[in-house]
Structure 1
Amino acid sequence: MATAVETLGKLERRITISFPLTDVRTEVEKRLKVQAKSAKAPGFRPGKVPLKMVAAQYGYQIETEVLNDKVGRAFNDAANENNLRVAGYPRIEPKEDSAEGVLTFDATFEVYPEVVVGDLTTVEIETVKAEVSEAEIDKTIDILRKQRVHFHTKGEAGEHGDGGAAIAANGDRVTVDFVGSIDGVEFPGGKADDYAFVLGEGRMLPEFEAATIGLKVGEAKTFPLAFPEDYHGKDVAGKTASFTITLKKLEWAHLPEVDTEFAKSLGVADGDIAKMREDIKVNLEREVAGRVKARNKEAVMDALVKTASLDVPQALIAQDSERLADMTRQDMAQRGMNIKDVPFPAELFAEKAERRVRLGLILSQLVGDNKLQATPEQVKAQVEDFAQSYEDPREVLKYYYSDRRRLAEVEALVLEENVVNYVLGLSKSSSKVVAFDELMGSNAQA
């Protein structure tokens, strides 16, 4: 039996559930007898263990299961009878003042809120667009060349000699010995032999690189180096050290020529450079389209958060905070990080979880009201789009359609795109052109 629904707050509700103690005892005895048929104990054949011994071993567990089943069933029945949309899980607490022979529990829970989206025709949204020019293709080719760089001794003549002066400069790979000290005392991590790095890549502190530039092989130099206050090495952060470096090896960067062989190394079978540039352009345009879509989706989501009015269930925020904490923990573990003693309090993720839950409720309302669900045709088109960038598109199709969870992820993406298109179609949207570098440097996430 359940009492009428009590309203405790905007979303919080309470139902009191009660049932006779005899109902619980009857069900416990019934389950104990079933358990006794397969119970084992020393000195007894299977199924011949006395019921008292079975009760002593399994009684608590079975009683807990019966209570959970009865309370859960009674709560679900009450929620259905009252047409309640329960958000999250109820908090079940026994009541101390139960009548004799009656078990009574309070079920406290939240319900889903009313979502008022607002007038989307008055919303102003700025979207972005970008183009891929020849300059971007050239920059990408330069990056690809640098990824295939190989080094040769600087200053030597011959096929791989640069013919230049053997003096360290930006772009060169240097191999050095170095030792650092603070107040005349060497410190941990301040010494290394045969340490190689490329000048200009920023791997070393600016003072270190500046001192290395201009050295010849065999030369040494002593210089002061001020560690930043936020330096990762806490023992030296904010302190000034004296370093001595000795240049032991100097190599220049030999970038491959943009020729037939270079094109072949990028997968162009016949080595046609024009085809290579076209392939690069297609890939860049696909990347740009993805980033533009992400930026524009984020702009729409921001507008929806500002426009919609709703109360967000705390139970859903707590659940999503836990989910985000678990995802972060798993991601760090997969990266090989030692997270054994690293705390992951869900509270750290509460702000992000609140936005995710809020958006989820808004999108659900929009989709339901305007029939924006993903169609099978849209889902298939999205999967085929994913497959275009893979060598065997059929394997990609198989990958998604063989697992309902993977396909559900695609459906969610399509659904979000439907919402974005719907909102942009109603709102006062404007568009601006953003530079390629600005777009590629952004990390918009929906």
Structure 2
Amino acid sequence: MQVTETLNDGLKRGYAITVTADELEAKVTEKLTEAQPTIEMKGFRKGKVPLALLKKQFGDRLMGEAMQESIDGAMSKHFEETGDRPAMQPDVKMTNEDWKVGDDVEVALSYEALPDVPEIDFSDIKLERMVVKADDASVDEALQNLAETAQSFESRKKGSKAKEGDQVVIDFVGKIDGEAFEGGAAEDYPLVLGSNSFIPGFEDQLVGVKVGEEKAVELSFPEDYQAPDLAGKSAVFDVTVKDVKAPQAAEINDELAKQFGAEDLAALKAQVVERLEAEYTGAARAVAKRKLLDVLDGKVAFDLPPSLVQAEADQIAHQLWHEENPDVEGHDHEKVEPTDEHMKLAERRVKLGLFLADVGQKAKVEVSDAEMSQAVMAQARQYPGQERQFFEFIQKNPQMQQQLRAPIFEDKVVDHIFDTAKVTEKEVTKDELQKAVEELEAEDDV
């Protein structure tokens, strides 16, 4: 077998691989010799079929396997000897397309190698991390929000008109072309106006109704309504209002605390403080991480595989196009060409991605099974009632597993760098932290 370099330009590599006919023949003979003891053929005892006869009958079929194994072996040996790591799947093409048995096999191998990533001293990096304590005003606001979620409703005075946020108790019958349809009727139904729990337009027409009033609510079902036989059709709902109730926020006391699983109000306040400060810590970490990435972006420089940059830029352009065109759900539109801004962002992402991957590998950072399970469970909660199917989908989909593993790995590498860098803490207000987060989000939108 012969490997000859044909291209060495930056990170681009090209090689001509020749597998001789004698090597292929030896590989086929090796395979037949290995299988010979188990082969039975009419006229011969098991394991006694002559090699020449086996080669005549099975040789052509095994030649393809021999060629593939020889080429794969040559590539593996090449990457082992050179230390090259392909940025993407190598391009392998057979160049003598008129090949026939007895000829050498000639293959062209080309790829972009991953670059050598420079090391930097993280102890030279100085960062500031914001720290926010939960103040009394924030705790009171959070408790008030909890009280509102635990609200009850009390009947308004007779003759009161229903307002947005009120609960109306109604009987209704829906009709299309004068005929009642299945699933379109209910009695004593409690509906909170403004909750958007009914078809668009239904709740709006009940604002201002009074107890005892009968109202015909006219509307059309959305074109994408979940029941195809109703989608896009006009309907009339005959509604009878039986009660109009005003929302009553729960009192902030021990009873409220018990509704949320706390022993008393003091315990609930402690839980609120813990939750708020955990949220602040997460937001502050996101800001510090962005600052770290900005520092790393300015400190490290190395050649980037053009194919990776182009693929990342294409993905960025495609994603942003769909955000600007939310009505287009499919991907059968014309190719979205990335702009210079997309290419610049792609270069940053590829550079930092390769750098963090290299740091993580050298630091032996790993994502544990427990961390992966936690990530899968968090994703599965987005599909209530279908958690089992989601778990099975993840188990059978290595690409999805990698998508879940990648951000966990990156965060662990960032924590590794934080541990070495000089990170000082600065206590700030919630508003100052919020401003920093908004500035970060504004940069993401650029």
Q: Is the 8 A contact 1:16 1:106 kept in 2?
A: yes
Equivalent AA in structure 2 for residue 177 of structure 1: F
2:16–2:109 Cα contact (<8 Å) kept:
yes
Query: Tell me, what secondary structure is at the counterpart of 1:106?
Result: strand
AA aligned to 1:145 is: A
Taking structure 2 as the reference length, what is the TM-score of the superposition?
A: 0.61
Are positions 1:260 and 2:254 aligned together?
yes
Indicate how the Cα distance of structure 1 residues 98 and 173 shifts in structure 2: closer, same or farther if over 3 A, else same: same
1:106 alignment counterpart: 108
Secondary structure in structure 1 of the residue aligned to 2:3: coil
Q: Which residue of 2 aligns with 1:71?
A: 71
> How do 1:53-202 residues align onto structure 2 when only pairs under 5 Å count?
62-96=62-96, 101-113=103-115, 130-149=132-151, 154-155=154-155, 167-174=161-168, 175=170, 177=172, 192-194=184-186, 197-202=191-196
Match for residue 413 of structure 1 among 391, 406, 411: 411
Alpha-carbon deviation of 1:278?
1.2
Q: Which amino acid aligns with 2:416?
A: N
**Per-residue deviation at 1:199?**
1.6
Q: Distance in 1 between matches of 2:62 and 2:428?
A: 64
In 2, Cα distance between equivalents of 1:51 and 1:257: 91
Distance 1:148 1:112 in 2: 56
In structure 1, C-alpha distance between the alignment counterparts of 2:299 and 2:75, rounded to whole Å: 35
**Alignment check: 8 A CA contact 1:127 1:299 kept:** no
* Alignment length (residue pairs): 381
Structure 1 unmatched runs, 5+: 156-161, 325-340, 387-404
CA displacement, residues 228-263 of structure 1 (integer Å, 9 cap, x when unaligned): 9xx86699xxx9989666244446345543333332
For 1:21 and 1:431, locate their aligned partners in 2 and report how far apart those are by CA, in whole Å.
74
Which residue does 2:351 correspond to in 1? 358
TM-score (norm: length of structure 1): 0.61
Q: Indicate how the Cα distance of structure 1 residues 431 and 146 shifts in structure 2: closer, same or farther if over 3 A, else same.
A: closer
The CA deviation at 1:315 is 5.3
Contact 1:130 1:435 in 2 (8 A): no
Give the match for residue 392 of structure 1.
none
Contact 2:17 2:106 in 1 (8 A): yes
List runs of 5+ in structure 2 lacking aligned partners: 317-328, 375-401
Q: Find the residue that maps to 2:19 and give its secondary structure.
A: strand
RMSD: 5.8
Distance 1:52 1:232 in 2: 68
Task: Please list the CA deviations of residues 281-334 of structure 1 after superposition, one character each: whole Å capped at 9, or x if unmatched.
Answer: 01221122112212331343356457754554355569989999xxxxxxxxxx
Identity %: 22
In the alignment, which of 246, 271, 282 is matched to residue 239 of structure 2? Answer: 246
2:431 equivalent among 434, 440, 443: 434
Secondary structure at 1:144 match in 2: helix
Q: 1:407/1:2 Cα in 2 relative to 1: closer, same or farther (>3 Å)?
A: closer
